[in-house]
Amino acid sequence: MSVPPILKVDGLYKRFGGLIAINNVSFEIAPGEVKGLIGPNGAGKSTTFDMITGVRPPTSGDIWFKAGRITNQPAHTRSPLGMARTFQIVRLFRGLSVLDNVLMGLQPKFPDGLFASLARLGSLRKQESESRDKAIQLLEFVGLADRAGHPIEALTLGQARLVDIARALASEPQLLMLDEPAAGLNDAETRNLGNMLAILKDRGMTMLLVEHDLDFIMKACDTIVVMDHGVKIADGSPAEVCRNRDVIAAYIGRRAADAEH
Amino acid sequence: MSKPTLPAAPTPTILPVFVFLAIGALIPLVLESGFYIRLAMLVWTYAVLCMGFNLLYGFAGQISLGQPAFYSLGAYAYAMLQIKLGWSPAVALGGSLAFVAVVSLLIGLPLLRLRTHYLAMATLAFMLVENGVANRWIDFTGGQSGVEVPALKWAGEEIGRTGIYYTVLGLAAVVLLLHDFLIRSHLGRGMQAIRDDETAAQALGVRVDLYKLRVLVLSSVMAAIAGICFGITSLRVDPSLSEFHVLVSLLTIVVMGGLGTRFGPIIGSVIVVALPQVLTGFGRFETAIYGACILVFLIFLPHGLSGLVERKFQWRADRATADAKRRKQVLKEEVS
Ligand SMILES: Nc1ncnc2c1ncn2[C@@H]1O[C@H](COP(=O)(O)OP(=O)(O)O)[C@@H](O)[C@H]1O
Ligand SMILES: [Mg+2]
């Protein structure tokens, strides 16, 4: 490949006590690529996601982001580097309004700490006002601008997920990582989400999607990594992955896989 | 097509802060009796103490029950630096705040990585230790009778009660402006994010441990400023500053005024200082009445009196929605 990957996961290995949750998993994401990460429950998707986002360190293996090794860098370093994520169980700030939640995505761009902020008092007002405009644009993008001032309690699960995505987008990430964005959404909401991801893809956004909704992921992704029992069993285009015997076996059962061939 | 120029975002106005300060500045002109001025000084002192706690717990979600220790420590340090080292009041002020900042940093460093109640317990333990030392290390602290705080002087003369009042008001104004700036800025947003969900805050690039440590130190320094206000008002510092009743007053104030609100600490302080004047007959039951108030407010008015007025989300909601509407308006005008 001529273009260097934006994310490179190399020989990732994670042990929880006696359980090997992730065993030698490697894959790459090219700029502009939308990659899916699928697998049955307990396959190790969330654990992989957590290691890439710095929530837990791998036992061994390496993670590279834009040519920098970030394996053991803490979670808070990811956003300034250009990586943003959402959560499988939506984690919005319940004491903040919808708009303020999205504004939190811009936090690393603000001066850090009291003294730094007081020193830049003059430009702070302007930055706040520009950030608000940007946050409202993002809320418009996800179709929730009219909810800007609402408390989080007033949102449906589907809306909360969209706010989570808007918040992740606020930092203008080069890699957007979504953990089961379609979980708990109804059909209309899932379609809406699919359209939105398609728009982001058209704009050149690189994404990593963890999903168990196969239909959704087949449509949304360029390539798909399939995991089972902590091991990568397939990596390729949706069509290739669908034909893979191991994948069928993992999803439907060994006998079905044999019957296919 | 050029990007439409948007009107500046409306931010909650600083006006109410100036109203509070203006009222504060007028008090000595209106209420001439020394008794009321002393009460007013106590209101500011408690307000300063509680603003620190409000930032720490109401906004950043970290409980320190040791605030009275920092309050007391600030006052002792301010007095001792003058008496034992001969420092001038201004230098002693800076020195005592730096001292309290270092102490709270040392306490916070190992604790903030742990869950919230460890911080609460450890700071409470620190308060007991601090109070014990103040009581028992008689040679240094004067024990029960405490130490005298040198009176403030101006051009060689002791400043009068009004002068002391305006000094206290000046210190309170600094804290009030900082408190308000923090709440209205991105830093307040960051603190609330940590309070609501540390993991999510971290994922958005917030250095959670560092933030918590900074707020703890800031709240301790604010408590120390309150202690100094008390010292220059009463001209004496004794172990009663870090006794349990101070903690009870503090909790009553923040709960009645409203935790996590802009003006809860001031409103709560006015009430808690005024209440005993109304309830003089209850003398011995004061603490019990405070406790009852805390319970009633926690159950029926969890955002306190200030929460009633600020209505927590209302102003944010109005502002943000107005923002969105106006943006659309501007875009429309730009197009047509
Ligand atoms: N904190 C943990 N401690 C022990 N085992 C864990 C922990 N987190 C995940 N696991 C185990 O690791 C395996 C992979 O889990 P996970 O990554 O959550 O799978 P998925 O997201 O694909 O459903 C599972 O067997 C799970 O039980
Ligand atoms: Mg999972």
Give the per-residue pLDDT at A204.
Answer: 93
pLDDT tens-digit map of B246-269: 998 999 899 989 888 899 999 999
Give the per-residue pLDDT at A255.
Answer: 57
Which residue among B181, B214, B321 places its CB closest to the CB of A149?
A: B321
Residue B38, token pair as written in the block? 């002393």
pLDDT tens-digit map of A192-203: 999 999 999 999
The answer to whether the CB atoms of B189 and A79 lie below 8 A apart is no
Q: At what angle do helices B161-184 and B186-196 cross, to 10 degrees?
A: 70
User: Which of these ranges, A170-179, B157-166, B191-200, B314-323, has the smallest mean pLDDT?
Assistant: B314-323
| CB of A42 shorter than 6 A to ligand 1 | yes
Q: What is the arithmetic mean of pLDDT over A86-91?
A: 91
Give the per-residue pLDDT at B293.
Answer: 79
pTM of the model: 0.88
Judge whether residue A213 has pLDDT over 50: yes
Name the residue at shortest CA distance from atom 6 of ligand 1. Answer: A16
Atom of ligand 1 nearest to the CA of A44: 17
Can you tell me the distance from the alpha carbon of A118 to that of B336, in angstroms, rounded to the nearest whole number? 41
Q: Which pLDDT band holds residue A245 (cuts at 50, 70, 90)?
A: confident
- Per the CB < 8 A criterion, the answer to whether A99 and A139 are in contact is yes
Q: What is the arithmetic mean of pLDDT over B327-335?
A: 63
More confident residue, B231 or B142: B231
Give the per-residue pLDDT at B8.
Answer: 37
Spacing, Cα A234 to ligand 1 middle (Å): 20
Residue A210, token pair as written in the block? 């963890």
ipTM of the complex: 0.90
Q: Which pLDDT band holds residue A3 (cuts at 50, 70, 90)?
A: confident
Name the residue at shortest CA distance from atom 10 of ligand 1. Answer: A21
Ligand with minimal distance to A40 CA? 1
More confident residue, A190 or B306: A190
Spacing, Cα A15 to ligand 1 middle (Å): 10
Judge whether residue B42 has pLDDT over 70: yes
Judge whether residue B187 has pLDDT over 90: yes
pLDDT tens-digit map of B201-259: 999 999 999 999 999 999 999 999 999 999 999 999 999 999 898 998 999 899 989 88
Judge whether residue A256 has pLDDT over 60: no
Mutation test of ligand 1: which of A19, A51, A232, A233 has the most ligand atoms closer than 8 Å to its C-beta? Answer: A19
Which residue among B196, B201, B316 places its CB closest to the CB of A94?
A: B196
Domains of chain A: which residue ranges?
A: 1-82+176-261, 96-172
Name the residue at shortest CA distance from atom 9 of ligand 1. Answer: A47
Highest mean pLDDT: which range of A135-139, B88-92, B96-100, B145-149: B96-100
The answer to whether the CB atoms of B214 and A108 lie below 8 A apart is no
Residue matched to tokens 């850090």: A112
Spacing, Cα A184 to ligand 1 middle (Å): 20
Which residue among B193, B206, B324 places its CB closest to the CB of A96?
A: B193
Closest-CA distance, B215 to chain A, in angstroms, reads 10
Inter-CA distances, A211 with A14, A181, B125, B151, B274, Å: 21, 7, 48, 70, 59
Residue B31, token pair as written in the block? 């209420």
| CB of A47 shorter than 6 A to ligand 1 | yes
The answer to whether the CB atoms of A93 and B193 lie below 8 A apart is yes
Judge whether residue B319 has pLDDT over 80: no
- Which residues in chain B have their CB less than 8 angstroms from residue A140's CB? 324
Residues of chain B above pLDDT 70, percent: 85
Q: Does A186 touch chain B (CB under 8 A)?
A: no
Nearest to B272 by CA among B244, B291, B300, B299: B291
Spacing, Cα A179 to ligand 2 middle (Å): 8
Judge whether residue A233 has pLDDT over 80: yes
Strand, helix or coil at A67? Answer: coil
Closest-CA distance, B245 to chain A, in angstroms, reads 30
Judge whether residue A250 has pLDDT over 70: yes
Name the residue at shortest CA distance from atom 25 of ligand 1. Answer: A42
Give the per-residue pLDDT at B182.
Answer: 94
Give the per-residue pLDDT at B197.
Answer: 94
Which residue among B182, B186, B319 places its CB closest to the CB of A107?
A: B186
What is the sign, positive or negative, of the torsion defined by CA atoms of B325, B328, B333, B336?
negative
Q: Does A118 touch chain B (CB under 8 A)?
A: yes
User: Which of these ranges, A19-28, A110-119, B10-19, has the smallest mean pLDDT?
Assistant: B10-19
pLDDT tens-digit map of A100-119: 999 999 999 999 999 999 99
Give the per-residue pLDDT at B5.
Answer: 37
Give the per-residue pLDDT at B330.
Answer: 65
Strand, helix or coil at A14? Answer: strand
User: Which of these ranges, A56-65, B46-55, B174-183, B273-282, has the smallest mean pLDDT?
Assistant: B273-282
Residue B61, token pair as written in the block? 């979600």
Q: What is the arithmetic mean of pLDDT over B50-54?
A: 97
Judge whether residue B1 has pLDDT over 50: no
Topology classification of domain A1-82+176-261? Rossmann fold (3.40.50)
Please state, rounded to an integer, the average pLDDT across all residues of chain A. 90
Judge whether residue A219 has pLDDT over 50: yes
Q: What is the arithmetic mean of pLDDT over B139-158?
A: 82
Spacing, Cα A37 to ligand 2 middle (Å): 11
Angular region, A180: left φ>0, alpha ψ -120 to 50, beta rest: left
Q: Residue B175 has what DSSP assignment? A: H
Q: What is the arithmetic mean of pLDDT over A116-143?
A: 92
Q: What is the arithmetic mean of pLDDT over A240-246?
A: 81
Residues of chain A above pLDDT 70, percent: 95
